[in-house]
Amino acid sequence: MPLYGVLAYIATVAVVFTFRLLSEDYVEATNDGVIACVCLSAAWYFRRVTRRFSKMDATRRCWKFLSLGALFHGTGHLVYSIAEFTIGDFVSAPSPPDILIYCGELCYIFGLSSFLSHLNRSAFLPPSNRKIIANGLIVVLAVLSVYFVMIPAWTDETTSIWARLINSIFPIIDLILAGIFAHLFLAFYTMGNSPLARPWIILIASYVVFFAADNTYLYLDATGQYHPYAFPNPGWGLAYMLTAYAAREQLQLMRSFDEGE
Amino acid sequence: MPRLVDGVEEFLSPVIGQGPARRLILAYCAKYNKQFQDINQSDLGKLGVFLSENLRIFVRAKRAEFISEKLKGQRPESSG
C-alpha cells in the first residue's frame, strides 16, 4: 500500500463519516470489504518480503507469520463483508469469522515475538532499561483494559456467557500484542533515525490505532453505545492501511539493499 | 590524520543509521577488548562478520555478507 493510498483512505473516510453518506446498514459491510482488500494486499507484500529471505535466514519465519496473519484477517473480514451485504445489516462480534481473525492474531504474536527475540540480541541497540519501561506500560494498559473493557464485558447481562468469554479473549490477545509492540517500539526508538527502523515504526503506529479501535469497540459494545459510524470502523481501516504500508516499506528497504549490488 | 573508524562509521551510517553504526562499533570494541580509535585495517574482517551477524535479521544473509565485504574495502582516506 503506497502512502497516497493511506491518505486517500483518510480523506474518503473523513468525507463519508462526517456527512454520513452511506446507509448505516452498509457502513460495516463496505468498510469490511475495504479492510479485506487491504489485508490481502498486506499479506501479498509480506509474502514478497518473505520470499526475499532465503530458507536459512532466521527471520524469514517472522515475515511468513505476518503474511499468514494478514491473510487470516483479510479472509475473516471478507466473510464478514459478504455476510453483511447478504443480510443487509451489520453482524455483531463475536461471530464465526472471528475465528479467522483470532488465528491471524496468533500468527502476529508468533511472528512478532520471534522477531523481537532476534532484535533483543542485536548490537545495534544500546543497553538500556527499555524492558522495564515496556513492562510498566503493559501493566498500565492491563489495568485500563480490565476496568474499561473486561469488567463491562463480563457484567453485560444482555449477552450469553460464551459471548462474554469471547469478548474477554480479544482484549487479552490485544494486551499480549500491545506488550510485544511496546518492546518493539522502545527498541526501535533507541535505535534512532535508522532506515532499518522505518517500516517497523509504521507497523507499530498501525497497532496503536488498531488497539485503540478494538478496545473502543469492546467498550462501546458492552455499554450499548456502538453504532456503525463510531470511531472503531475508520480506526480499523486506517490500522490495516498502515500495516500494508509498513509491509510495502519493508519490501522497498530490501529492494534498496539489493540494488546496492 | 584521518581515522579508519570514522570512515567505517561514515560508510555504515546511510545503511543502518548513525546511532546503530556507532553502537555496532562500540559493541565490537567491547567484544574484542579494543579502543574505539584503535580500529585498524586488520579489524575490518571481523567487524564485517559482526555487522553481517547483526544485519541479517533485517535483510537476507547474502545481502548482509555483501555489505560486510564492502566494509572490508574501507580505507582511512574514505573518512574525508
Least confident of A119-123, A154-158, A197-201: A154-158
Extract the C-alpha cell encoding A13: 473516510
Q: Residue A252's closest chain B neighbor by CA?
A: B59
- What integer pLDDT is reported at residue A165 of this predicted model? 81
| Residue pair A91/A84 in contact by the 8 Å Cβ criterion | yes
Query: Are A216 and A232 spatial neighbours (Cβ–Cβ below 8 Å)?
Result: yes
Give the count of alpha carbons within 13 A of B73, CB side only. Answer: 6
> Which band of pLDDT confidence, cut at 50, 70 and 90, is reported for residue A228?
confident
Asked if the Cβ–Cβ distance from B17 to A191 is below 8 Å, we say: yes
Is there a contact between A210 and A230 (Cβ–Cβ < 8 Å)? no
Residue ranges of chain B with per-residue pLDDT less than 70: 1, 75-80
- Sequence letter at residue A164: R
In this complex, which of A52, A194, A258 lies closest to B19 when CB atoms are compared?
A: A194
**Peptide bond before A94: cis, by omega within 30 degrees of 0?**
yes
Q: What pLDDT sits at residue A108?
A: 96
Q: Give the model's pLDDT for residue B80.
A: 39
Those of residues 183-222 in A touching chain B at CB distance below 8 A are: 190-197
Query: How much is the pTM?
Result: 0.89
Mean pLDDT value across residues A228-239: 90
SS3 B8: helix
Q: Would you say residue A100 has pLDDT above 80?
A: yes
CB contact under 8 A, B58 and A59: yes
CA proximity to A244, closest of A49, A39, A78:
A39
State the pLDDT at residue B62.
Answer: 83
Query: How high is the ipTM of this complex?
Result: 0.84
| Contact by Cβ (8 Å): A6, A234 | no
pLDDT tens digit sequence for A67-92: 999 999 999 999 999 998 888 777 77
What are the DSSP calls for chain A, one per residue?
A: --HHHHHHHHHHHHHHHHHT-S-HHHHHHHHHHHHHHHHHHHHHHHHHHHHHS-TT-TTHHHHHHHHHHHHHHHHHHHHHHHHHHHHTSPPPSSSTHHHHHHHHHHHHHHHHHHHHHHHTT-TTSPP-SHHHHHHHHHHHHHHHHIIIIIHHHHT-TTS-HHHHHHHHHHHHHHHHHHHHHHHHHHHHHHH-S-TTTHHHHHHHHHHHHHHHHHHHHHHHHHTT---TTSTHHHHHHHHHHHHHHHHHHHHHHHHHHHHT-
Surface-to-core class of residue B47, CB atoms within 10 Å of its CB (0-12 exposed, 13-18 middle, 19+ buried): buried
Enumerate residues 6+ apart whose C-beta is below 8 A from A13: A234, A237, A238
Whether the per-residue pLDDT at A111 is higher than 60: the answer is yes
A62 versus A163: which is more confidently predicted? A62
Q: Which three cell numbers stand for residue A185?
A: 517500539
Mean pLDDT in residue range A23-49: 92
C-alpha cell of residue A53: 529471505
Q: Does A115 touch chain B (CB under 8 A)?
A: yes
Interface test mutation site (partner A, options B59, B68, B70, B71, max chain A beta carbons within 10 A): B59
DSSP secondary structure letter of residue B6: H
Distance CA B24, CA B31 (A): 10
- pLDDT digit string (tens) for A169-180? 888 998 999 999
Report residue A41 CA to chain centroid gap.
14
Q: Does A254 touch chain B (CB under 8 A)?
A: yes
pLDDT value of position A160: 81
